[in-house]
Amino acid sequence: MLRKKQCVAMLLAGGQGSRLYALTSNIAKPAVSFGAKYRIIDFPLSNCINSGIDTVGVLTQYQPLVLNEYVGNGQPWDLDRTFGGVHILSPYEAKTDTSWYKGTANAIYQNIRFMKMYDPEYVLILSGDHIYKMDYDKMLAAHIEAGADCTIACMKVPMKEASRFGILNTNPDGTIYEFEEKPKQPKSDLASMGIYIFTASKLFKYLELDEQDPNSDKDFGKNVLPAMLNAGEKMYSYRFEGYWKDVGTITSLLEANMDLLGTVPNFELRDSDRVIHSRSPLAPPAYVSGEVCNSMIANGCEVEGSVINSVIGTDCVIEKGAVVQDSVLMGKTVVKAGAKVNYAIIDEDVCIGKNAVVGDVKAEACKVEGKTSGITVLGRGITVSDGKKVAAGEIVDKDV
């Protein structure tokens, strides 16, 4: 029997995420915890299944252990399928030309055979470092209706930030006449979200061409998209409206977590139509008996201290007299009696000793200049000894 999939998604999850410092020492960026019980990759994976796309290749390269274990057979996202489903695609040894993934385009190129197994008409390219909810099916419908060869999702960004993004210059009908990667003087404020739909035959053709070009960086934004445009292929923009955040830096990661708080948050996860699925841990409900204000608390926590404007991940313990404020605790962290955590991101499995002080109150910490703009970062598995002080803006990746 002939079996095929209309659309296959390819999720680029190999990024090192070097601007997250200690948070990505041992894990790939898409596996970084977010919103108390999620990992970043939950968002694109859930978007796929919520958009009717059930075949997803996850391309991994950097520190894939946690990510592989987390994705597993895809069951939490209903992506465990007999035909299709989620597949981890890591670089492999070939008879000739064995190599790591050398750029986004090369990573996809090396997996052309995977895509061809499903004989797709369209290929959706995604990246694993954004927080958003999106219906890719609508974008696909627009791609098909326009008869496009490539459709790029984009959104308006503030003009002064436009030079950080790939910028689309478009005609009134949505067609793209120019694509500029991080332009110094942007002509438009339409930024590419790194989400592309290609007509499969065109994608394969331009990946082959790009592969043969020795001067290419093997990058979609820098090479493949401009090449298609120059060749006169039909390229359309697709406007996305809604919440979307690149969580590639410490400040944006903290901001995105804070965007979940409040009765009417900037980013709403209570949404029965577009549920974000995750590998939910088997923890009992949180026990709460302390001063908790404007915060998010995941299952398995035992909170007897104070938690203010914070996001507390699964299985954290906040002892009596401890205070956590304006911070993100990713999970399985113990904050002992009398300890204070302010304006910080604390990775999993951290122990903060009695009366230790981590960071400084937000108003003061904000004034600290440095890589993290005053946010204190504690890496995975760290122990902070009793009474120890960790200064605002410090990045800690070993016991102190």
Partner 1 sequence: MASTVGVIFTSINDENAAELTKVRSKGSIPYGGRYRLVDFVLSNMVNSGITTVGMLTKNNYQSLMDHLGSGKEWDLARKEGGLILLPPYSDESEILYKNRLEALKGATAFLKKAKEDFVVLADSDAVYKLDYSKVIEEHIAHNADITMVYHEHECGEAPAYILFDTEKDGKVTSIDINAKGKGVRKHYVNVFVARTTYLLNVLQTAIARGLTSFSKDIILPAIKSGKIYGYKLDGYYGNIDSLQAYYKSNMDLLDKNVRQEIFGERDVYTKVNDAPPAKITATAKVTNSLVHDGCLVEGTVENCILFRNVIVGKGTHLKNCIIMSENVIGENCNLTCVVSDKDTSISSGTTLAGCEQKPYFINKGSRI
β-pairing, 340-342 vs 357-358, is parallel
Do residues 41 and 30 lie in contact, with contact meaning Cβ atoms separated by under 8 Å?
yes
Please tell me what DSSP assigns to residue 27.
Answer: S
Nearer to partner 1, 66 or 288 (CB): 288
Within 8 A by CB and 6+ apart from 127, the residues are 11, 12, 13, 15, 44, 194, 195
Nearer to partner 1, 228 or 307 (CB): 307
Q: Which is nearer to partner 1, 227 or 261 (CB)?
A: 261
The residue (of 175 and 266) whose beta carbon lies closer to partner 1 is 266
Specify the residue, 78 or 135, whose C-beta has the smaller distance to partner 1: 78
The least CB distance from residue 98 to partner 1, in Å, is 37
**Of 89, 46, 40, the residue nearest 64 (C-alpha):** 89
What's the longest Cα–Cα distance across the chain?
68
Instruction: State the nearest-atom distance from the C-beta of 272 to partner 1, in Å.
Output: 9
Nearer to partner 1, 288 or 391 (CB): 288
**Least distance (Å) between residue 295 CB and partner 1:** 6
Nearest to 78 by CA among 59, 53, 58: 53
> Phi-psi category of 73—alpha, beta or left, where left has phi over 0 and alpha has psi -120 to 50?
alpha
Which residues contact partner 1 by CB under 8 A?
A: 35-37, 75-76, 260-263, 269-270, 275-278, 280, 282-290, 292-299, 302, 311-313
CB contact burial 195-215 (16+ within 10 A = b; e otherwise):
bbbbbbebbbbbbeebbeeee
